[in-house]
Chain A
Amino acid sequence: MGPEGLKPGEPVPLTVLLLEDNETDEFVIREVLEQSGHVFRVDVARDGHDAVEYLRRVEDDEEMPCPALILLDLNVPKISGSEVLRQVRRSSRCSRTPVIVVSSSDSESDRAAAQSLGVQAYFRKPANLKAYLDLIDVIKQVLGGIR
């Protein structure tokens, strides 16, 4: 991964860290992000380990921007999304980064755990394509006044 070149006059893209192992979901989420009204650059981590590595790189390298938004799936291999979230909150640079949990689970315990760790929204992955568009509203709400 690396920063992409920017053409002059174009808005600075917001970096989004997406932790998602399901390619289909990744595809749909990318579409949602595009339609959200913001310009995003999406960094995808396929498992928790990758995500933690990514965060460490961000911690160490001042040049790398902190993601403007983190979209977490809880059920990912290696390190769980919850653990990643913990890391996010413990980091020095990105502790305040808005996090939206995008998960197929709707168990109470998952929601509660996410709540206690401080997420801005919890979105349940639908089985319906159209319902996925609701995520746009959530993103808009979370990012609020940025740009």
Chain B
Amino acid sequence: MKEYRIEAMPVAAPSGFSGESEVQRLRTLYQLLAALSRAKALDDVYEAAITSLLAATMADRAAILTFDDDGVIRFKAWRTLSAEYRQAVTGHTPWPLGTRDAQPLVVPDVLADKSLAAYREFFVRENIRAVAFIPLTLEAGVFGKFMLYYDQPHSCTLEELEIGQAIAAHVALATVQKRAELASTASEQRLQAILDNSATVIFIKDREGRYQLVNRCFEELFHVSKTQVVGRKDHDLFPPEMAERFRENDRKVLAARETLTFEEEAPHDDGIHNYISIKFPLEGTDGELAGVCGISTDITDRKRLETANLHFAAIVESSDDAIVAKDLNGIITSWNRGAERLFGYTAAEAVGKPVSMLAPLDSRNEMPEILARIRSGHRVEHYETRRCRKDGVIIDVSLTVSPIRNASGRIIGASKIARDITERKRAEQERGVLLAREQEARQTAELLNRVSPRLAAQLDVQKLVEVVTEIATTLAGAEFGSFLHKNEQSESWVPAEVSAGFPMPRNCDLFARTFEGEGVVRHADLMQDPQYGRLVEGSRPVRSYLAVPVVSRSGEVLGGLFFGHPDAGKFTEHHEAILIGIASQTAIALDNARLFEQAQWVQTELKRSNEELRRANQDLETFAYSASHDLQEPLRTIAISAQLLERSGGQHLQGEDARFLASILGSATRMTALIQDLLDYVKATKYAEGHPPSVDATVVLTGALQNLKGAIEEAGAKVTSAPLPIICIHPGRLAQVFQNLISNAIKYRGTGVPHVHISAEERDGWSVFSVVDNGIGIDAKFADQIFGLFKRLHSRQEYPGSGIGLAICQRIIEQYGGRIWLDKSVPGGGSTFCFSIPSEAR
């Protein structure tokens, strides 16, 4: 643009501007200022400017133009200017952008000015005769212009230009302000948009930790709005530990005056989330730190993934199985410790190598096949194959291969789990062998089972031997079979009948070996044998030979089973096994048969002796009864006769005669009693038949006490007992013993209440009973005597009784193998009688 100089500066002519106009001009300025202060937007500024210009100058029209970013000056506001005009003069400016010290320019007559000749046409059309240019300037220079348009040629007055410049100055400032404001707003808005659309949490806090700014992410995550947060501190929004942590980190940043990164935690709806927070200090206007800005990224998922990965990696590492990952080209990408152990290669040696290095030479083609399946997304499970270790050893493995997919689902490789199944395979093989053997053994056992009942049932030794020989010969597949008792081999130990079946000469050491306990003797071919070969020449030779000893449980050789066959090699280990089984069954059967015979004999004997016993008892009883009766009869007659005599001549009998009579009577009576006692003694002491049962002594005692009830009550005696054991004795006998001992204890009582106590204790399988009384006691020197039949220590007048009670007890106790004795006794101090009976356990 050309520089224009004003051709002429009109001298300020008082062209109507008086003091009034001064006031007018001032008012206009005030209005302008007021309007500018109210202006919200740049348009308002321009409008206000134009209004002022028109009011303050004599211009008919006015316009404002500013430079745009592309350096072209353009119309921003105007009054009454056509579009064509504006278009025509756009870009025309006396001053380039940024000109300093620009001065207003006036063109009093545009039609006369040569420099504007190009626009003459437009001026005419627009009816513009004079223009004035007023620069809009700031520190940086010209940034725009005012245009004043006059319909008539006009030379601007100084005042006009002055007021124009004043307006320009104000407008320039206002424009700049507004532009700055706009820019600021625009940039603020841009910034806010960035903040709000950020997926990270962004915030600004002042030095004291009060929130000044938070973005939308913050609002949404923590369910607060900006207005709720701004001005608040962390302690108002978050749990105390977290808030404390945040503030601590803020303080660190303020202290360090530089950007720091922290890991922080914040509560979300679904729990605590982990964040990486980048915090940096914000400088205030005074050079001091104004606050802290933080940008926090949620790494919870990342952390979880990390943890999961670590976990997973740990599983893989610690697994006993070999876990190997490879890419689709078969190159090993990961190799765990289990793989190191299984294959012998370290991870360093294996990773990066082709997985085919593990395959033994002969099976290399299976790998591509597996890979192909993997590529198509399939899994290969429990594929058994062989692999080659680093040291060359071939191992059996079971493989499971699965595809590895990336996040988008594409297959990027394969993961292989390999398990060493060498041991398992070996065990399977062994098992197979064992099964086969077990099968064989079971068959043998079944065979023997079928055989053994027949043997067991056979208690007759002769028949037994026949059965055994028959069965065994069949089982052995032998032509000849024989059982020989050991004790038969004295001189002719092969009975003729048997030797017909077993064509061997009698004096054969071959057989002797079996009897001497050599065990199983087997020859495939006797004819080949140097020792025995000559023995088997003849019409029916024995070539195959098998002999099994029959040994009883005690180890004694009872005999042997001998088998032969004219063909060689007929008897196998299997036959041996079967026949050993039969031999042992036979031994058992023979033992049983022997035992049975013995048992039979014992039974018979027992029956016989029992019979004798019964008969003896019967005889005794009969004898006792009849003896007692026969003895008692005459006694009775003596008694009756004496009484008759007494009755008839009693008062006449004097002195000695009466005494003699009394003596007859007395003796008869006593004799009767003695005979009765003797009868009782016999009854009480005959052998009780049958094995003594187990009886509860307490129960028997109770019964005995019942029987003694009268005597006990009459004596006012107290009978007590301790718990008594179970013993082997016939109950009636035990009752007899108790009754005798207790009635003695009561009979031979002292002064005071008679007390009897019965107790028992266990001594080596015997129950030792004690009957303790507080009666008159017995002098120890009589301890043995008192058990004698009819032996008494007192006269009949002192204490009644015949003296057989203890004798009966002794006979009874001794019949059960026990003993009865006076344990201790002191005259006047009571007595203790003891007796022993076998306890139940015996």
The minimal Cβ–Cβ distance linking A125 to chain B, given in whole angstroms, is 7
Asked if A127 meets B629 with Cβ closer than 8 Å, knowing A24-B644, A27-B644, A28-B644, the reply is no
Residues A50-92 near B (CB distance < 8 A): 75
Asked if A127 meets B672 with Cβ closer than 8 Å, knowing A22-B637, A104-B633, A104-B636, the reply is yes
Taking a contact as CB atoms under 8 Å apart, the answer to whether B640 and A127 are in contact is yes
The minimal Cβ–Cβ distance linking B631 to chain A, given in whole angstroms, is 11
Say yes or no for B839: interface residue by CB 8 A criterion: no
Taking a contact as CB atoms under 8 Å apart, the answer to whether B625 and A25 are in contact is no
Residues of B within 8 A of A28 (CB): 640, 644
Contact of A107 among B625, B639, B669 (CB under 8 A): B625
Residues of B within 8 A of A128 (CB): 639, 643
Say yes or no for B29: interface residue by CB 8 A criterion: no
Say what secondary structure dominates the interface of chain A: loop
0/1 interface trace, chain B 598-630, chain A, CB 8 Å (1 if under): 000000000000000000000000000100010
Residues of A within 8 A of B668 (CB): 127
Say yes or no for B388: interface residue by CB 8 A criterion: no
CB-CB nearest in chain A for B632 = A104
| Interface size bracket, B side | 10 to 19
Say yes or no for B553: interface residue by CB 8 A criterion: no
A107 to B641 Cα, complex, angstroms: 24
Residues of A within 8 A of B629 (CB): 75, 104-105, 107
In the complex, which of the residues A22, A127, A132 has the most CB atoms of chain B within 10 Å of its own CB atom?
Answer: A127
Residues A17-53 near B (CB distance < 8 A): 22, 24-25, 27-28
| Interface size bracket, A side | 10 to 19
Residues of A within 8 A of B625 (CB): 107
In the complex, which of the residues B635, B640, B643 has the most CB atoms of chain A within 10 Å of its own CB atom?
Answer: B640
Taking a contact as CB atoms under 8 Å apart, the answer to whether B633 and A127 are in contact is no
Say yes or no for B796: interface residue by CB 8 A criterion: no
Taking a contact as CB atoms under 8 Å apart, the answer to whether A24 and B672 are in contact is no
Say yes or no for B647: interface residue by CB 8 A criterion: yes
The minimal Cβ–Cβ distance linking A110 to chain B, given in whole angstroms, is 10
The minimal Cβ–Cβ distance linking A80 to chain B, given in whole angstroms, is 14
Taking a contact as CB atoms under 8 Å apart, the answer to whether B644 and A125 are in contact is no
A138 to B433 Cα, complex, angstroms: 100
Asked if A25 meets B632 with Cβ closer than 8 Å, knowing A127-B672, A129-B647, the reply is no
Asked if A125 meets B636 with Cβ closer than 8 Å, knowing A24-B641, A105-B629, the reply is yes
A132 to B469 Cα, complex, angstroms: 84
Residues of A within 8 A of B639 (CB): 127-128
Residues of B within 8 A of A127 (CB): 635-636, 639-640, 668-669, 672
Residues of B within 8 A of A129 (CB): 640, 643-644, 647
CB-CB nearest in chain B for A107 = B625
A83 to B448 Cα, complex, angstroms: 71
Asked if A24 meets B633 with Cβ closer than 8 Å, knowing A107-B625, A129-B647, the reply is no
A25 to B638 Cα, complex, angstroms: 11
A28 to B647 Cα, complex, angstroms: 12
A132 to B647 Cα, complex, angstroms: 14
A132 to B636 Cα, complex, angstroms: 12
In the complex, which of the residues B644, B668, B669, B672 has the most CB atoms of chain A within 10 Å of its own CB atom?
Answer: B644
A75 to B629 Cα, complex, angstroms: 10
Asked if A24 meets B647 with Cβ closer than 8 Å, knowing A127-B669, A127-B672, the reply is no
Contact of B640 among A24, A75, A105, A107 (CB under 8 A): A24
Residues of B within 8 A of A105 (CB): 629
A13 to B629 Cα, complex, angstroms: 35
A18 to B669 Cα, complex, angstroms: 27
0/1 interface trace, chain B 657-688, chain A, CB 8 Å (1 if under): 00000000000110010000000000000000
CB-CB nearest in chain A for B625 = A107
Chain B contacts to A: CB under 8 angstroms: 625, 629, 632-633, 635-637, 639-641, 643-644, 647, 668-669, 672
Chain A contacts to B: CB under 8 angstroms: 22, 24-25, 27-28, 75, 104-105, 107, 125-129, 132
Contacts beyond the supplied A24-B644, A75-B629: 15 A-B pairs with Cβ under 8 Å: A24-B640, A24-B641, A25-B640, A27-B644, A28-B640, A28-B644, A104-B632, A104-B633, A127-B636, A127-B669, A127-B672, A128-B639, A128-B643, A129-B640, A129-B643
Shortest Cβ-Cβ A-B pairs, 4 listed: A129-B643, A127-B639, A127-B636, A24-B637
A-B contact pairs, 29 of them (CB 8 A): A22-B633, A22-B637, A24-B637, A24-B640, A24-B641, A24-B644, A25-B637, A28-B640, A28-B644, A75-B629, A75-B633, A104-B633, A104-B636, A105-B629, A107-B625, A107-B629, A125-B636, A126-B636, A127-B635, A127-B636, A127-B639, A127-B640, A127-B668, A127-B669, A127-B672, A128-B639, A128-B643, A129-B643, A129-B647
